[in-house]
Amino acid sequence: MTTVKALGKYLRELREERGLGIRQVERETGIPNAYISLLETGSKAHLPPPEVLGKLAKLYEVSVETLLAHAGYLQRPEEEPDPEVQVEKAFQHILSDPQFKYGTRLKGKYDLAAKRFIIEMYEKATKRKLLSK
Amino acid sequence: MADQAPDILDATQSPVCTVEDFCLDVAIQHGHFLETEGNEYPTLDFQRDALTPEEIAGQFVGYFKLRYPLTVDQIRAICDKSGFMLKAVHTPDKMRGANCSFNGQTYVYYKLSDPPTSQVHTLLHELYEIIDRELVEWAGARMRPRVMVDREANRFASNVQVPASLVRAWVKEQGTDVPALRKAFDCPYATALIQLKEGLRMAMLAEPDKYYPPMIGAIYERRFWKPTRSGRAPRLQLSFFVKTPGFPFTMQKPELRSLSIQHQQDIFQLHEMVMQERRGPLILENAELLHDGHALPVHVIIQPVHWPSVHRKAAKVIVQIFRLYPGGRI
């Protein structure tokens, strides 16, 4: 997958995890919805400028570095593990913590987005960091 | 009922009612104290599985003196008193809410973009999960399966948001219209339909000599949270159905789709009638429900629910089929 496509997929995941529509993102960031759509489908030939990524990072509550790294502006450490594996590992850690109890109102099974949300809850409640942004 | 200003729990009111106190109250009321040799104090013997979500819901409504229609503010007041951290946040698409407890601190999250009626349901769902954990501790039992607690939490939330005992009284005065019931209790359509069925069932059992129409109810909806690739509105899908006693057959989802209705000389498939676009309700009086070799006299009401500001097509369709008896009325 090209960097542009991979970035688009990641941006879409972030938006959907937060339950935001493209028009909502447009309202919050001022980035035209058509441009966001092109970014997410990987249809743009070139990577978006850092200021666009900055606005999206702020809205999605992730660090700008993470988006910049996905966009290829920053070099990612070569040994960085797969994010999905990281999430699964962190989730298993939570399941094994007898002090932490949780529940959800969820349609269907725990998918990656739901697990990530539970991990964020855990990090906030316990003040322990499980995932690197 | 919808016109009344809702009473919001006063945080300064005495005695302080917290979720923790409520759980202790439930455990004491449904358990009993045992004198054991060698122990200075009696121990509380409480069986968690002996209590249904409906029973807990009934006690919850009375304990916190809830006023109807329920509001997010009322639930927020309970959470505040109980020391829970409550926050409306962006949750993943399929997740409406979540809660967690760690080191005595409890956090409750609910979907920011949900309408208030759904937020109330979600908050009650989350509260039930917290209550269940507390009761399990009082019973000294093992944690219960998550799927089971999740289903019970929905039953609890429905019963607190729209108590079946109040619906029973409402049915007597107002009838059986789901949108009217939804408006009166300011609750989701699904909760209104489920509780209408429960209220009717209770009324039938309590007053067997009176006529309460047996009902089959169903909700079809477009899953807007699951956008289609083409960008078009998702198609209507059967979400769930309910059935009161009073029909001489059992039924599953596929059978509901294949129900046929004869009205005057025409025979229609219920599913096809639901799929037809219409702005207002379709009422078929004195029709016949054809199923499983039976031909039952029925009234059929198919009501579309529109969200005009968002979508041109009906967002939901509510179907109600009432069985008629000679001399009976709706």
Question: Where do we find the tokens 């030939």?
Answer: A45
pLDDT in tens, B143-170: 889 899 999 999 999 999 999 999 999 9
- Binned at pLDDT 50, 70 and 90, residue A132 comes out as confident
Q: Return the higher-pLDDT residue of A93 and B309.
A: A93
Distance CA B245, CA B97 (A): 34
Confidence (pLDDT) at A65: 77
Q: Is residue A131 part of a domain?
A: no
Interface touch B94/A121, C-beta < 8 Å: no
Domain spans of chain B? 19-161, 213-330
Residues A29 and A52 in one domain: yes
Residue B300: pLDDT over 50: yes
Q: Is the ipTM of this complex over 0.85?
A: no
A40 alpha-carbon distance from chain centroid: 13
Residues A17 and A55 occupy one common structural domain: yes
pLDDT in tens, A14-72: 888 777 888 888 988 889 888 888 888 887 777 788 788 888 888 888 877 777 777 77
Please report the pLDDT score of residue B125 as a whole number: 97
Per-residue pLDDT band at B202 (split at 50, 70, 90): very high
**What DSSP letter does each residue of A70-93 carry, written as one string?**
HTTSSPPPTTPPPHHHHHHHHHHH
CB burial string A50-79: b at 16+ within 10 A, e below: eebbebbbebbebebebbbbbbebeeeeee
Greater confidence, B228 or A126? A126
The structure's pTM equals 0.75
Please indicate whether, in this complex, the C-beta atoms of B98 and A108 are within 8 angstroms of each other.
no
pLDDT at B3: 43
Residue A75 lies in a domain: no
- Which of B121-125, B206-210, B224-228 is predicted most confidently? B121-125
Q: The domain containing residue A34 runs over which residues?
A: 3-70
Residue A77 lies in a domain: no
What is the spatial distance between Cα B28 and Cα B49, in angstroms, rounded to a whole number?
15
> What is the predicted pLDDT for the residue at B5?
39
Residues of B in contact with A108 (CB under 8 A): 94
Task: Give the model's pLDDT for residue B167.
Answer: 95
Inform me whether the C-beta atom of residue A122 falls under 8 Å from chain B C-beta atoms: yes
Residue A40 lies in a domain: yes
pLDDT in tens, B109-134: 999 999 999 999 999 999 999 999 99
Cβ–Cβ < 8 Å for B301, B289: no
Same domain, yes or no, for A13 and A51?
A: yes
Do A34 and A91 reside in the same domain of the chain? no
On the question of pLDDT at B7 being above 50, the answer is no
CB of B21 closer than 8 Å to CB of B60: no
pLDDT tops 60 at residue B1: no
Q: What percent of chain A is predicted at pLDDT more than 70? A: 92
Structure tokens given for B161: 């948001």
Residue A53 lies in a domain: yes
Cβ pair A105:B122 closer than 8 A:
yes
The answer to whether residues A62 and A31 belong to one domain is yes
Residues 65-104 of B with CB under 8 A from A: 90-103
Domain co-membership, A66 together with A36? yes
Tokens describing residue B304: 């579309």
Tell me how crowded residue A91 is: count the other CB atoms within 10 A of its CB: 19
Is A122 a member of any domain?
yes
Dihedral sign for Cα B55, B123, A128, A92, please.
positive
DSSP per position, B91-149: --TTEEEEEEEETTEEEEEEETTS-HHHHHHHHHHHHHHHHHHHHHHHHT-PPPPHHHH
Q: Which pLDDT score, from 0 to 100, does residue A12 have?
A: 87
DSSP letter, residue B246: -
**pLDDT at res. B278:** 87
Question: What is the tally of structural domains in chain A?
Answer: 2
> Is residue A127 within 8 angstroms of chain B, CB to CB?
no
Do B193 and B219 contact (CB within 8 A), yes or no? yes
Domain-embedded: residue A43? yes
Provide the CATH number for the domain around residue A38.
1.10.260.40
For every residue of B257-295, DSSP letters joined together read HT-EEEETTEEEEHHHHHHS--SS-EEEEEEEEEETTEE
Pair (A63, A103) in one structural domain: no
How far is the CA of B85 from the CAs of A128, B20, B110, in angstroms? Answer: 18, 15, 11
Residue A1: is its pLDDT beyond 80? Answer: no
Q: What is the pLDDT of residue B141?
A: 84
**Structure confidence at residue B17 (pLDDT):** 87
A56 and A107 co-located in one domain:
no
Output the DSSP codes for B148-204: HHHHHHHHHHHHHHS-HHHHHHHHHHH-S-HHHHHHHHT--HHHHHHHHHHHHHHHH
Q: Which A residues in the span 71-110 are in contact with B, Cβ-Cβ below 8 Å?
A: 99-108
pLDDT of residue B194: 95
Using CA atoms, how far apart are residues B267 and B256, in angstroms rounded to an integer? 15
Do A50 and A98 have their domain in common?
no
Residues 6 or more apart from B235 whose CB is under 8 A from it?
B222
The yes-or-no verdict on residue B225 having pLDDT over 70 is no
Work out whether the CA dihedral B33, B36, B41, B44 comes out positive or negative: negative
Q: Which fold has domain B19-161?
A: Arc Repressor Mutant, subunit A (1.10.10)
Q: Which of A104, A112, A120, A123 to mutate to test the interface with B (most CBs of B within 10 A)?
A: A104
Contact list in A for residue B103 (CB cut-off 8 A) is 99, 125-126
pLDDT over 90, % of chain B: 68
Length reported for chain B: 330
CA B76 remoteness from chain centre: 20
Please say if the pLDDT value at position B326 is more than 80.
no
